[in-house]
């Protein structure tokens, strides 16, 4: 969590337990912007939407909070 404190977003490129089992609310509190790019699809889009993240995952539709996607 220290590594993402004040970061503009989080990029996930591994399926390590530290990410899979992470506290989503704590992640949101640490980030300056609630943005996650998930290269391993470890989170469910519906969960990220409910948590208020703008969430981009490889091969799935993004979850956007208050933004218009140009990636569709």
Digit-coded pLDDT (tens) for 10-60: 999 999 999 999 999 999 999 999 999 999 999 999 999 999 999 999 888
pLDDT at 25: 95
The answer on pLDDT for 69 being more than 80 is no
Taking alpha carbons only, the member of 35, 32, 30 closest to residue 64 is: 35
Across 56-71, average pLDDT:
72
Cα–Cα dist 70/47, whole Å: 22
Cα–Cα dist 34/16, whole Å: 21
What is the residue whose two structure tokens read 């899979």?
A: 20
Instruction: Note the pTM of the prediction, 2 decimals.
Output: 0.81
């Amino acid at each position: 969590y220290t590594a993402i404190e004040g970061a503009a977003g989080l990029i996930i490129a591994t399926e390590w337990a530290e990410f899979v089992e992470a506290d989503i609310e704590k992640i949101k509190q640490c980030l300056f912007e609630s943005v996650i790019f998930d290269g391993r699809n470890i989170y469910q889009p519906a969960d990220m939407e409910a948590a208020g993240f703008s969430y981009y995952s490889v091969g799935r539709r993004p979850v956007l909070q208050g933004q218009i996607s140009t990636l569709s």
